[in-house]
Structure 1
Amino acid sequence: MGSRITEEVVAVARAGLRDFKARTRTNAFIQRDKDPKKRKATGYETGALKSKSPLPNNLKVVAVKDNISTIGSFETTCASNFLKDYKAPFDADVVHTLIKEGGVVAGKTNMDEFGMGSHSVNSHYGAVTNMKPFQKYSAGGSSGGSAQAVAAGTTESALGTDTGGSVRLPAAYSGVVGFKPSYGRISRHGVIPYAHSLDTVGLFCRNPEDMTLFLLSAQNLNNRDPTSPGLPAINRLTNAIRREEARLGRWTGKDTKPLRIGVPAEYNIAELSPAVRHTWQRTLDTLRSHGHTIVPVSLPSTKQALSAYYIIAAAEASSNLAKFDGVRYGSREDASDNPTGVLYAATRGAG
């Protein structure tokens, strides 16, 4: 297939960019690639495209959240004035992995600054708005730009990050499929951290079938990310799953053995919408009708999860963002600081 980006992928990209021009009111992108063919001249040559790649052409044009590093002409700003004009020296592992599968970066998507927010309104580049309907409802955050890029049809796949719901919320608000993989399933090397104990690279697609293929292409194991489980652990888990599948008849056919399925009582909260509660109950009824046993279980620490999240996230964010002081990283203001104040007060105030 050669080393150049295929014409089919370029056609998908250009079609998405035509849609983009008609949907700019969402403010989903901070930067976009005007001509995917030029990407090979700026470090995005894909190499020999894998004929057996699980990634179909419609998913090879990928929108990337602006806290995920990309080389070439794209900046990586975390939607902050503080990192304006910053260009990363390397691709994040997940971007590099997708490029090896034949992918190209369509552009960098808008977000809450440094990933801290739930509505994608705290951005130096302006708020992301939900395309259905415009200006009325939240696009969710902090990966709202990536979700809107997929919802608008500009791309059919996008990368985001999820610390406390930053992929799942925008997906729910935008009517697309969002997936937060298990912690460490996708390498975070090259992702600017918010709270490293919780940060996870997440994915957006338009349907579950595409999401399966996108995950298979994006997942990677990398010793540069200490949270990556490593091949021995993956092999142990895979073997355990295969043994369980064999015991259960691989979940299909008349020989499938009934399961005991635990349902956490704490998840049936008062705030649950009637539509969601109805769907949940209907799912449980379907499982019972197939001979499975539904068993109530208790996860008593669930009620403390949100409090723990806010303590951990705030503490780790203060540590991770401390380096953005205009001395080691980031832009620097010309104005003199107050001699009795913090050295970088003016710089952070402008950033």
Structure 2
Amino acid sequence: MLVLPEVKVNDPKRGWQRPSIYDVAKQAGVSHMTVSRVLNGHPNIRESTRGRVLKAIDEMNYTRSSIARALATRRAMRIGVIVDGPLQYGPNSTLRALESAARGVGYAVSAFSISDDEQSQIDAGVVELVTQGVDALCVIAPRASSLDILRRQSTGLPTIVVKAEPDDVWHTVAVDQRGGATLAVTHLIERGHRSILHLAGPQDWYDARERDGGWRDALALAGLHIPKPISGDWTSDFGYSIGRTFVPDGVTAVFAANDQMALGFVHGLWEQGLRVPHDVSIVGFDDLPDARHFLPPLTTVRQDFAALGELALQQIIAAIEGETHGQHDVIEPTLIVRGSTARPAS
């Protein structure tokens, strides 16, 4: 049997009662919605108001547990998350960041994963999450084909989608994939490279398309030739298969759409006697935890997944409370320069 802490309020009309969100609101002189926003870490609250609410919470020893808030707000305090491509680094890291951010404000997360060969299960995933009584849905949707299936669903729940491109239907949040790719290729151009190949990701993935677009933007702005990219599958094995048969033919640098393909590509080059960065410079994308230990350490684009999780959660809570803050919000990535890039050999 679950027992809540016996924290009570002395009210002569009601007797001794546990303090509710409404009691805290009355003590602080604000609405119960304002108390909810403070508890949920909502950014658009005046500091003076936040201070009054926190003071009232401390004075009344208000229980900020998920159960207490669920009872006060009549919410499940649970977010349903559909994760497409859960084994890939980006979707997996986004899910973990969202779970961490949600726990910090008392929300639980129920996740339903869709692997490469299970896209038809998206409908089942939506039904499963909705029947759990979640307050909102978050869709981590890297592939266009999966999102097209989801568009047929109508749940009536507030829904936020994590994807690189804006959407006409849903509010979206993302790391700026196109901007990150532009940073990577501009770095190579500034090092003096004039022939830069792109080892691209699967073109059904929004991130891959945006990174391809950033590569093209940077080359076009510099007035450089845009060669045909090589489309891969995100894996180190694919990068390796390209690297071991790669003929530079004037190419002095490669922008790989993720760190794993960059790792395999470097391995393949090494097997045929080509050195990085002496013969070919390499830039990746993601900044995997091991990227600094590649040989050589990999220059790459870092995605701040913790910030992305916080942003997604803020927009989910805002949507639950009936607020909107624009249609597409992005986190800016960071270029991390290491030993895999240098000026082209003369």
TM-score band, normalised by the shorter chain?
A: under 0.3
Q: Which has the larger radius of gyration?
A: 2
**TM-score, normalised with respect to structure 1:** 0.24
Higher share of residues assigned strand: 2
